[in-house]
Amino acid sequence: TSTRKLLVLPGDGIGPEVMREVAHIAGWLRHHRGLALDIDEDLVGGASLAVHGVPIRDAVIEKAKAADAVLFGSVGDPAWGHVGFDKRPEVAILKLRQALDLFANLRPAQVFDALAEASTLKPEIVRGLDIMIVRETVGGIYFGEPRGIETLPDGSRRGINTEVYTTAEIERVSRVAFDLARARSNRVCSVEKCNVMESGLLWREVVTDLHKREYPDVQLSHMLADNCAMQLVRDPRQFDVIVTGNLFGDLLSDLASMLTGSLGMLPSATLGAVQDDGRRAALYEPIHGSAPDIAGKGIANPLAQILSFAMLLRYSFDREDDAALIEKAVSNVLASGLRTADIMSDGMARVGTEMMGQAVLREMDKLNVTQA
């Protein structure tokens, strides 16, 4: 197998802490399973602002374009709260998504059996949960024009953002959702607010047409976003694949994370279009942020970052076996009762970031022996 180019961008806060555990796992895979990686690492977010004065350098964007995949940590640092809007640490991830045209953000929410008790919902509501939220990530109100803050003649100000979606943008993200559904339980729920927003009305029409033309075999339903938030808490297992826009997808995926026990558990993959040469730009990141409230304490849950790396191996490096090995190891560690603070419950053993990472490695060792 050929050497794969991986760009690692740990970022701020807990980003570097949880990324360190992934580095150990990558090293293990290189040693035991012949994974050949050419790893480059660079600064983004507040870490880049501190050294270079910008949240992300053009050179880093070029590196990301040249890489076979990007593994991203998280950006955001209260220390940079005073800088101009276009210089915030968060610009790093927004620019990467745009520059690489990473329009489809896959956010799976799966409940590990051992964690059904860790959810704030009753275990019988979440046990066995397996949903996939497909969030559009380069359009919608995040990027629509006009935008800005204006001063009016009377001296008062107004802030403006615009929700915009084109037919092409809706179709391409919906295709990703329909294709995923075919390999799962074959159901897609499309989410918008067509009752108040024209962009939502177009969204519903386009998804309906596309379904008729190309995916009549998939079961399609539609739901208003506010109802969807409620339904995710009431009966989350009614969903298979959810497809939605940028802002609703952001909110609904944080909500879905709590069904699984913690924001510290959810990985994600953000994919671009498949190119003529078969390549596809891809960035992998946990859905959580830099968690300034716990940064530097060594207590962050590294599993979302580790599971993001597993998704990377599966979708970008064609290493299904290695991805499954990591996921099985994580599942076994949780079954053994080890818990970081965010998923802690009675009778379990509390560990920090590093010990959780080490425990995953030990399980990988054991599983590797069993398989050999």
Q: Which residues bind ligand IPM (CB under 6 A)?
A: 76, 90, 93-94, 250, 287, 289
Options 121-129, 140-148, 174-182, 290-298: segment touching ligand NAD (CB under 6 A): 290-298
Q: DSSP label at 318? A: -
**Residue whose CB is less far from ligand NAD, 27 or 292:** 292
**Residue whose CB is less far from ligand NAD, 135 or 288:** 288
Of 96, 116, 188, 294, which lies in the binding site for ligand NAD, with binding defined by CB under 6 A? 294
* Under rule CB under 6 A, residue 228 binds ligand NAD: no
Size of the site for ligand NAD (CB under 6 A): 20
**Residue whose CB is less far from ligand NAD, 53 or 298:** 298
Report which of 318, 263, 330, 313 is spatially closest to residue 290, judged by C-alpha positions: 263
Of 263, 271, 310, 326, which lies in the binding site for ligand NAD, with binding defined by CB under 6 A? 263
Options 157-165, 182-190, 206-214, 291-299: segment touching ligand NAD (CB under 6 A): 291-299
Name the residue number minimizing CB distance to Mn ion: 250
Residue with tokens 């295709």: 175
Q: Give catalytic residue positions.
A: 142, 193, 226, 250, 254
Of 116, 218, 256, 291, which lies in the binding site for ligand NAD, with binding defined by CB under 6 A? 291
How near is the Cβ of 247 to ligand IPM at its closest, in Å? 8
Residue 41: helix, strand or coil by DSSP?
Answer: strand
- Here the tokens at position 368 are 């590797």
* Under rule CB under 6 A, residue 261 binds ligand NAD: no
* Residue 195 is assigned to a ligand binding site: no
How far is it, in rounded angstroms, from Cα 188 to Cα 181?
6
**Residue whose CB is less far from ligand NAD, 74 or 190:** 74
Partner interacting with residue 290 (select from ligand IPM, ligand NAD, Mn ion, none; CB below 5-8 Å by kind)? ligand NAD
Options 151-159, 273-281, 298-306, 310-318: segment touching ligand NAD (CB under 6 A): 298-306
Q: DSSP label at 139? A: S
User: At a CB cut-off of 8 Å and minimum separation 6, what does 71 contact?
Assistant: 6, 7, 8, 9, 19, 22, 283, 284, 285, 308, 309, 312
Burial zone of 368 (CB within 10 Å; 0-12 exposed, 13-18 middle, 19+ buried): middle
Q: DSSP label at 2? A: P
Distance of CA 98 to the CA centre of its chain: 16
**Residue whose CB is less far from ligand NAD, 291 or 359:** 291
98, HSE (Cβ side, Cα atoms, 13 Å): 13
How far is it, in rounded angstroms, from Cα 48 to Cα 41?
12
How far is it, in rounded angstroms, from Cα 124 to Cα 235?
10
How far is it, in rounded angstroms, from Cα 209 to Cα 17?
46
What is the distance between the terminal CA atoms of the chain, rounded to a whole angstrom?
20
Options 94-102, 276-284, 293-301, 319-327: segment touching ligand NAD (CB under 6 A): 293-301
Q: DSSP label at 33? A: H
Burial zone of 158 (CB within 10 Å; 0-12 exposed, 13-18 middle, 19+ buried): exposed
**Residue whose CB is less far from ligand NAD, 16 or 292:** 292
How far is it, in rounded angstroms, from Cα 38 to Cα 45?
23
* Under rule CB under 5 A, residue 90 binds Mn ion: no
- Here the tokens at position 247 are 């802002």
Q: Which residues are annotated as a binding site for substrate?
A: 97, 107, 135, 226
Q: Which residues are annotated as a binding site for NAD(+)?
A: 289-301
Residues found near Mn ion in the complex (CB under 5 A): 250
Residues found near ligand NAD in the complex (CB under 6 A): 14, 74-76, 90, 93, 263-264, 285, 288-294, 300-301, 304, 342
Q: Which residues are annotated as a binding site?
A: 97, 107, 135, 226, 250, 254, 289-301
